[in-house]
A and B are shown apart, each in its own frame.
Chain A
Amino acid sequence: MNPFLTVLAKECTDNIRDYRSLFSSLSVALLGPLLIVGLLTFVLDKTLRDFEEPIPFTLMGADYAPNLVAYLRANNTRIDQREAVDDPSTLIKSGEAEIILVIQPNYGERYTEGEQNQVALFFDSSSYSSGRRNLTTLVQLIERYSNTIGMLRLHYGGIQPGLIAPIKTRKIDVSSPADRALMIFSSIPYLLVLVIFTGCFYLAIDATAGEKERGSLEPLLTQPISRFQLVLGKVIAASSFSLLNLTITVISLYFALQLVPFERIGMSLELNLLQLLMIIAVTSPLTLFAASLLTVVSAFSKSYKEAQTYLSFVIIIPTLPLIITQIVGIEPSLGSMFVPSLGQAILTSQIIKGEAISYTHVLLSVGATLSMALLFLLQAIKMYQKEQFVK
C-alpha cells in the first residue's frame, strides 16, 4: 500500500475511534441546521401572527359609543365586553385582562356637542410582553378614528383639513416575512465555514501535536516515508472529516428546511439537489485550506492542550471576513474571491438565493483557496523536516 494511503487510513481510523471528539464536531453539523430552522420557524410564526391575529382587549361602556366600537370591531380586534367597574386596574393586576378600554357614559353627549372626549386605556407596562404591539395598534386605531371624525367635521364646516394638519406622514413598510426569513438564511455561509473548521479541528491537533506529546511521532519519523507523503496523509485525513462535516450539514439543512412553513408566507425557498451539490463543490476547497492551516498551527505547539488553545483562536479568523462584510456590505467582486471563506460565503449565499454565479468568481475562489492551502501544506512539511520538531 502506498505510504500516503497508509497514513491517511490510519489517521481516519484513529479519529473515528475518538468518539468524544468525533461526536463533538458532528454535533455542530447536525444541530446547526436545526438551529437555523428553529429560528426561521419562530420568526415566520411570529411575523405571521402579527399580521393575522386580532387584537384582544376588554371594553367597558361599549353602549355609550356604538360607532367607535363598530369601527374597532371592523378592524381585526377581539373585544371582550364587560360591565363598567369602579377600578378597572384591579382586573389588570389580577391578570383577568391585559388591556381595558373604558368609555365614559357622557361620551355621546360630549360627542354631539363637539367637545373632546377622553377614553381611558388601562394596561401594565411591566407585566405583559405580547401586549405592547396590541396596545400600540389599538391606540393607532382610536386615533385614526378620531382623526377621521375630526376631518369630516372640518370638512362639513367648510374648512380645509390641511389647515390644522399641514403635514401628514405615511409609513410604508416594504419588508415582508420573506425578507426576515432571508436574514436568517444569510447565517448559512457562517455555519458552513464553521463546520468545515470544526470538522478537522480534533484530527489536526491529534495527528500532529498529539503525536508529539504522546511520543509516537519519534518512531513514526524513523519510518522510510517522505515527510511530504506523511504530512499530506495527515492533512488529507483531516480535510476528509471537514468534507464529511460539510456534507452532513448540507444534507441535514436540506431536510430541515422542509420543516419550515415557507408556503404560509407565499414563498418557495427550497434548496434543490443541484444547489446542494453546487454549495458543496464551491466550499470544498476550504476543507483543504482549513486542514493545512490547522496542521501548521498544531505543528507549532508542543502539546495537545497548547494546540487546542491556539486553534480555538485560529478558527475565529475565517469568520472575521464574513462578519466584516456583513457590517460593511461587500458586493460579490473579484477581490473578495481571493479571501478564503469570504469567497465561499458569497458564492454560497448567491446559490441559496438562486442567483446566477460567475464562473470567473468560482475559479478565482477555488484557485486562491487551494494555493493558500498548498502554502500552508509546504510550511507544515518544512516544520516536520526540522529536527527541533521532535521535542
Chain B
Amino acid sequence: MIKVTSLTKSYGIVSAVSDVSFEAASGKVTALLGPNGAGKSTILRILSTIITPDTGSATIDGLDVATDTTDVRRKIGVLPHNTGIYDRLTAIENIRYFGNLQQVKRTELNNRIDKLIHLLDMNEFCDRRVSGFSQGQKMKVALARALIHDPQYILLDEPTNGLDVMATRALRKVIHDIKDAGKCILFSSHVMQEVESLCDHLVILGHGQHRFSGTVKELEEKSGTANLEDAFIMISSEGESSR
C-alpha cells in the first residue's frame, strides 16, 4: 500500500503540495487527477525518491520514501512524464540496463524481457535503436523498463500523454493486466475520460491541495452531476472563487 500523510513540499516560495493525504491500495488502479500545476508530478517524484518532502511523510509498503530510499527503489517501477530513454541504445538495451541496475539475475532478466516484449507487443522494434521511435513506441520501452524487475508498486506520470488512440488502448490493457496480477498502480492524469475506464480509485488535487478521494461513483454523487468532466472541474477548482 502507498500511504501519503500530510505531505507538503515547496520550491522556494512556491508551494507545490500542501498537506495532502491519500492511500493507494494493492490490486487497484489509483488515479491522481488535477489540472496542470496541481502538484501531481511533485507527489509522484516524492514517491519515486527523487525529491524529499518538507513535512509529512509518504510510505510504500511501510517503507519511508525519504529514508529507506534503496529499499523503496527496489519496490517501485517509475514511468517519468517524458519517458527518458536513451536514444543510442536499442529498446532491449534500454530495458536491460535498468534490469541490471535492479540486479535481476541474468536468466530471470531474459525471461522478463521476452515476456514484456510480448505483453507490450514490441517485437517489431525491440532490436532497433530508440532514436526515431514514435511516442507510443518510446512509451512502451519506458514502461517495459519500469516493469523489468516486476515491481509491486508502479508509478506512472501522465502515461497517455502524446499517445494516439491505439497506443492508449494498448496501455490501458497492460495496466489492467498488471492490476490483475495484484500490483498497486498510481498514475497521474489531467484527462477525465481515460480515468473512468481505467481506475478504481480517484484522488483529485487542486492547487497542491487535496480535494477529493473516492470512486468515480462517489465523485458523481458528491458533485451531483453524471458528467465526469463537469464534476472534475467543479471539484478541482473548489474554493477557487474565495481565493
Q: Given A6-B97, A6-B100, A14-B89, does the pair A218, B80 have CB atoms closer than 8 Å?
A: yes
Stretch at the interface among A152-160, A190-198, A219-227: A219-227
Whole-angstrom distance between the alpha carbons of A225 and B136 in the complex? Answer: 28
Return the CB mask of B100-137 against A: 1 if under 8 Å, else 0.
11110000000000000000000000000100000000
* Chain A nearest CB, measured from B153 CB (Å): 11
* Chain B nearest CB, measured from A151 CB (Å): 81
Q: Would you call B89 and A224 a contact (CB within 8 A)?
A: no
Q: Considering only CB atoms, which chain A residue lies closest to B131 in the complex? A: A17
> A387 at the A/B interface (Cβ < 8 Å)?
yes
* Chain B nearest CB, measured from A258 CB (Å): 38
Whole-angstrom distance between the alpha carbons of A217 and B78 in the complex? Answer: 12
Q: Considering only CB atoms, which chain B residue lies closest to A225 in the complex? A: B101
Q: Would you call B74 and A224 a contact (CB within 8 A)?
A: yes
Chain B residues with Cβ below 8 Å from A215 are 80, 82-84
Range of interface residues on chain B?
Answer: 20 to 34
With beta carbons under 8 angstroms apart, the residue of A7, A18, A220, A222 that contacts B88 is: A18
Chain A residues with Cβ below 8 Å from B100 are 1, 3, 6
With beta carbons under 8 angstroms apart, the residue of B74, B84, B103, B129 that contacts A216 is: B84
Chain B residues with Cβ below 8 Å from A13 are 88-89, 93
With beta carbons under 8 angstroms apart, the residue of A217, A223, A387, A390 that contacts B102 is: A223
A152-178 interface (Cβ within 8 A of B) = none
Whole-angstrom distance between the alpha carbons of A226 and B74 in the complex? Answer: 12
Whole-angstrom distance between the alpha carbons of A217 and B83 in the complex? Answer: 11
Whole-angstrom distance between the alpha carbons of A131 and B66 in the complex? Answer: 80
With beta carbons under 8 angstroms apart, the residue of A3, A10, A222 that contacts B48 is: A222
> A93 at the A/B interface (Cβ < 8 Å)?
no
Q: Considering only CB atoms, which chain B residue lies closest to A387 in the complex? A: B51
Q: Considering only CB atoms, which chain B residue lies closest to A14 in the complex? A: B88
> A214 at the A/B interface (Cβ < 8 Å)?
yes
* Chain A nearest CB, measured from B4 CB (Å): 17
B75-99 interface (Cβ within 8 A of A) = 76, 78, 80, 82-89, 93, 97-98
A167-216 interface (Cβ within 8 A of B) = 214-216
Q: Would you call A3 and B50 a contact (CB within 8 A)?
A: no
Q: Considering only CB atoms, which chain A residue lies closest to B73 in the complex? A: A224
Q: Given A17-B88, A224-B70, A390-B50, does the pair A3, B101 have CB atoms closer than 8 Å?
A: yes
Q: Would you call B86 and A219 a contact (CB within 8 A)?
A: no
Chain A residues with Cβ below 8 Å from B49 are 221-222
Whole-angstrom distance between the alpha carbons of A321 and B82 in the complex? Answer: 44
Q: Given A18-B88, A224-B101, does the pair A387, B52 have CB atoms closer than 8 Å?
A: yes
Q: Would you call B85 and A216 a contact (CB within 8 A)?
A: yes
* Chain A nearest CB, measured from B101 CB (Å): 4
> B145 at the A/B interface (Cβ < 8 Å)?
yes
Return the CB mask of B44-70 against A: 1 if under 8 Å, else 0.
010011111000000000000000001
With beta carbons under 8 angstroms apart, the residue of A10, A214, A217, A221 that contacts B97 is: A10
Whole-angstrom distance between the alpha carbons of A226 and B52 in the complex? Answer: 17
* Chain B nearest CB, measured from A161 CB (Å): 82
Q: Would you call B80 and A223 a contact (CB within 8 A)?
A: no
Chain A residues with Cβ below 8 Å from B145 are 219
Q: Would you call A224 and B102 a contact (CB within 8 A)?
A: yes
Q: Would you call A223 and B101 a contact (CB within 8 A)?
A: yes
Q: Would you call B84 and A222 a contact (CB within 8 A)?
A: no
Which residues of A line the B interface, CB within 8 A?
1, 3, 6-7, 10, 13-14, 17-18, 214-226, 387, 390
Closest 7 CB pairs of A and B: A216-B84, A224-B73, A223-B101, A6-B100, A17-B88, A215-B84, A215-B82
Sampled A-B contacts (5; CB under 8 Å): A3-B100, A10-B86, A10-B89, A216-B86, A223-B102
